[in-house]
Amino acid sequence: MAEKTFTFPVDRTAIMLFARSVLDIRPEFTDPDAPETKALGGMVAPPTFTWASSHYEPDYALDLTRPRKEPRQSAPSMAGGGGGLGRGLHGEQHYEYFHPIYAGDELTVTIGPGETWTKEGRRGGKLTFSEQIYDYTNQDGVLCVRARMIGVQTEKAVEQ
* Residue 74 lies inside a defined structural domain of this protein: no
What CA–CA distance (Å, rounded) separates 151 from 1? 14
What's the CA angle centered on 93, arms 89 and 97, to 5 degrees? 165
Is 100 a domain residue?
yes
Q: Are 143 and 133 in contact (CB under 8 A)?
A: no
Residue 71 lies in a domain: no
Residue 72 forms part of a structural domain:
no
CB of 114 closer than 8 Å to CB of 131: yes
* pLDDT for the residue 63: 73
- Work out the mean pLDDT of the chain and round it to a whole number: 86
Residue 87 reports pLDDT greater than 90? no
Which has the higher per-residue pLDDT, 56 or 77? 56
Using 50, 70 and 90 to split pLDDT, how confident is the model at 77? very low
**What's the gap between Cα 95 and its chain centre?**
9
Q: Identify the domain containing residue 15 by its residue range.
A: 4-64+79-154
> Which tens digits make up the pLDDT trace of 94-109?
999 999 999 999 999 9
**How buried is 43 (Cβ within 10 angstroms: 0-12 exposed, 13-18 middle, 19+ buried)?**
buried
CATH of the domain at 114: 3.10.129.10
Contacts of 17 (CB under 8 A, 6+ apart): none
Q: How many domains does the chain have?
A: 1
Q: Note whether residue 73 is domain-resident.
A: no
Identify the pLDDT of residue 79: 47
pLDDT for residue 76 is more than 60: no
